[in-house]
Amino acid sequence: MSAESRSIFDPPTVAVVLKGGPEDLPPSERQRHIPQTATKVKVPHLGGHEHFERDEGNTSGPGGPVVFRWTMRTRVAE
């Protein structure tokens, strides 16, 4: 999201990278911006959701994206 498209009411975001989970999760899904205070990310994928949680002990370095690690998969209820 560009600075021009953000509202002053939008929460601050942080760049994250998603590690682990299914190998066929596209690279475009593994890099995103989420609210700075988020501790979990849920990504729709092949009829289910892949769940990732913030890895507090692992960052990509100062100014780099925050690492979120895969924790589980859930299926979408029919």
pLDDT in tens, 29-44: 999 999 989 999 999 9
Query: Does 63 score more than 90 pLDDT?
Result: no
Sequence ranges of the domains in the chain: 3-75
| Cα 55 from Cα 12, distance rounded (Å) | 19
Helix (H, G, I), strand (E, B) or coil at 54: strand
- The pair phi, psi for residue 10, each rounded to 5°, is -70, 140
Give the rounded distance of the alpha carbon of 65 from its chain centre. 10
pTM of the complete model: 0.80
Number of neighbours of residue 14 by Cβ within 10 angstroms:
14
